Structure 1
Amino acid sequence: MTISSRTRNALVFTFTFALAFLNAVPVFAASVKSQVIVRELRSENIAHNKTGTDPMRKMLVYLPAGYDESSLQRYPVIYFLPNPFEDSYRFDFDHRDAQALFDRAIAEGVIKKFILVAVDMNTTLGSSWYVNSSATGNWEDFMIQELVPYIDANFKTLPNRDSRGIAGIFIGGYGAIRFGMRHPDVFGSVYAMHPVGTGTGVRVSAAIPRWDILASVKSMDDVKKDGGTRIFTTMFQAHLPDPDRPPLFIDLLARQEGDQLVIDAKLMERFRDNFYLETMIPRYADNLKSLRGFKFDWTRNDANFDHVYANQAFTHKLNEFGIIHEAEEYNGAFGADWGVDGRFYTDALPFFQKHMVFTETNEHGQR
């Protein structure tokens, strides 16, 4: 039996097409997967800090599946401030598979496609507390003047506050609320997970650090001997900086005299006014009222009851000023934020789906 030239040509064409299609499938499949890319940005706002912090800041950027398939589609952005007590800003991606969690949330309709940015906001000693400091650098300016414009210039974002949210965990939750308070024109939606620093706790805060260590330090490494002292040193570097007072570059608001703790009232007032979020409510009430959405949560099982007490008081004070918000005390383990049963999946992402704008608007405000 012989095969005609027409039939032979048809078979060759069919085989060639099938081979080309099979070769193309892996390329196409790879191109529509989500991506997590690493970027670095040198900050002029941090470059002249006194504490030796590297001004080259690293970040992870989550891009949803299909990001490269269309040059026209643009995406809302969630800025994420991780818990600074984890190993690094990328801990949730390296150890909790945040990428797969976000992929699943999008696939199951929990939230539409979005970009997420997780950036390293830590100093050499710990958290920057996201503020401008003459000791550690201008971290607030880094976020507002450098990072957000960089992301909008280099990725397909919806560059407006309605499509820009901020979330954080623990100290990162503090930063999320603080940025929402001071920059509602940049971040329209705020979700803080178990924030600290919202207000006064049960204990006297000045009784937590060891003042004998602070009074006799020879280097910044000395404060690492005690966890509470280290944390409070980062707080003082952020809110009571003294660039002419090495090696810690802080003003000491208290001193230990025998069994008595002597507190400098003026420095304590300055610290409280600059640090506690509840003291900032009167100044930024109108800003908070302008947010598209504002929520924070905390677990009643936190071993440090100061955090529970402060968050309960914080929501009451917000109510006193007529600030619409959501506040939830839940009965669960501290740090149970990840996985399909974690609050990032069950609460934070649905919150942003509800409050962020996912489509572009024209000059008349039409979508």
Structure 2
Amino acid sequence: MKKRQILGATALLAMALNAVSTLAQSAKGQIIDRQVISMNFAGNRIGVSPVRKMVIYLPPGYLTSTHRYPVIYFLPNPFEENYRFDFDHRDAQGLFDLAIAEGVIKDFILVAVDMNTPLGTSWYVNSPVTGNWEDLMIQELIPYIDANFKTFPNRDSRGIAGIFIGGYGAIRLGMRHPDVFGSVYAMHPVGTGTGVGVSMTIPKWDILTNAKSMDDVKQDGGTRIFTTMFQAHLPDPAKPPLFVDLPGRQENGKLIIDVKLMDRFRNNFYLETMIPQYANNLKSLRGFKFDWTRNDANYDHVYANQAFTRKLNEFGVAHGAEEYTGPFDESNWGADGRIYTEVLPFFARYLVFDIDPQIHHQ
């Protein structure tokens, strides 16, 4: 071949590659908003709305495609502004588009749902005080998505992920419902187990015992979040205004722990206490991983996650556990963030993207 022909062929190849690259970069997914009116909040005592909103990411070409897609259910950090925060402020849609275009993961659907109460997180459990959040997810939201979108309606093509308290929810829902979710990734989960300090020294007991309304607990962050824990795990619909059984009290400046209530709280709340009951469920997952940063200002979270992976090992639960150095939350997003480099590749490996799944375990 003559030199001029070689140069011409090279130029044509370069143009073709550039065209493919441009097409991939221009292929954009779509985000849409939906809502369901849930039957699971009729009896709640704290004013939770039955209208539960969600944002849904659809991959490029979804509207014209005849294909079906796997679904990732995503539980955002509930301390953010709202469930849409990552889409509105961190360009989650652009990141997912890039991941698909670059082959990090095949086409997928992602669903992020508002799972918060007026005080903050629901902890994703059924409670006579806050409503039945677990039932909302399993009995209403997932059937709604499968009925209205082109999904593979089976656990092998359905994963769940979450950040921080959302990570807690991802593990909890995954361990309790392995028939619904086949793969679980939790980013920096909290509530995995006991920390270094005594947890009940965090809330301000004078605020809890003297509260005249739920607004009173909002004046202190630790007290507020522990109120959500108690409403989820020590609910008492007959005790306004907080509707909880308090597992502690202050007497002459000393913290007094109610042993029975504390035992009930620990057994209902900490994920480590649930391992013996749900170890076989966890073993049946196609993939299970969680991570945490050692730079967390609250070392209790680091200590608890280290202990959690050790206890999983004791029960023979195969899983991935990674402690990394670096900031948390904001750095999860972007092409260098852990969602792009860790979470999406994880689901690329463990979700089933075709009609005839070949089940393989981690």
Q: What is the TM-score when the length of structure 2 is the normalising length?
A: 0.91
CA contact (8 A) 2:237 2:243 kept: yes
CA contact (8 A) 2:130 2:231 kept: yes
1:344 equivalent to 2:361? Answer no
Q: Please name the residue that 2:269 is paired with.
A: 275
Q: Please name the residue that 1:66 is paired with.
A: 61
Separation in 2, partners of 1:360, 1:66: 18
How many residues of Structure 1 are paired with residues of Structure 2 in the alignment? Answer: 336
Question: CA 1:265–1:362 in 2, change beyond 3 Å: closer, same or farther?
Answer: closer
CA contact (8 A) 1:188 1:356 kept: yes
Separation in 1, partners of 2:27, 2:94: 14
SS of the residue corresponding to residue 62 of structure 2 reads coil
SS of the residue corresponding to residue 168 of structure 1 reads strand
Separation in 2, partners of 1:245, 1:195: 30
CA contact (8 A) 2:27 2:97 kept: no
Q: Please name the residue that 2:158 is paired with.
A: 164
CA contact (8 A) 2:156 2:357 kept: no
Deviation at 1:361? 2.2
Q: Please name the residue that 2:185 is paired with.
A: 191
Structure 1 alignment gaps of length 5 or more: 1-28
Amino acid at match of 2:336: D
Separation in 1, partners of 2:220, 2:252: 20
Q: Please name the residue that 2:89 is paired with.
A: 95
Amino acid at match of 1:316: R
Separation in 2, partners of 1:68, 1:272: 47
Q: Please name the residue that 1:54 is paired with.
A: 49
Which one of 350, 356, 364 corresponds to residue 351 of structure 2?
356
Q: Please name the residue that 1:113 is paired with.
A: 107
Q: Please name the residue that 1:15 is paired with.
A: none
**Structure 1 moving runs of 4+ over 6 Å:** none
Separation in 1, partners of 2:222, 2:90: 27
Q: Please name the residue that 1:36 is paired with.
A: 31
Deviation at 1:317? 0.1
Separation in 2, partners of 1:277, 1:52: 28
Which one of 269, 281, 285 corresponds to residue 291 of structure 1?
285
Percent identical residues: 76
Deviation at 1:48? 2.1
1:152 equivalent to 2:146? Answer yes
Q: Please name the residue that 1:210 is paired with.
A: 204
Separation in 2, partners of 1:122, 1:46: 12
Amino acid at match of 2:43: H
The 5 A counterparts of 1:208-287 are: 208-287=202-281
Separation in 2, partners of 1:118, 1:297: 20
Q: Please name the residue that 1:22 is paired with.
A: none
- Pairwise CA RMSD of aligned residues? 1.7
Deviation at 1:362? 8.3
Separation in 2, partners of 1:362, 1:346: 25
Q: What is the TM-score when the length of structure 1 is the normalising length?
A: 0.90
Structure 2 alignment gaps of length 5 or more: 1-23
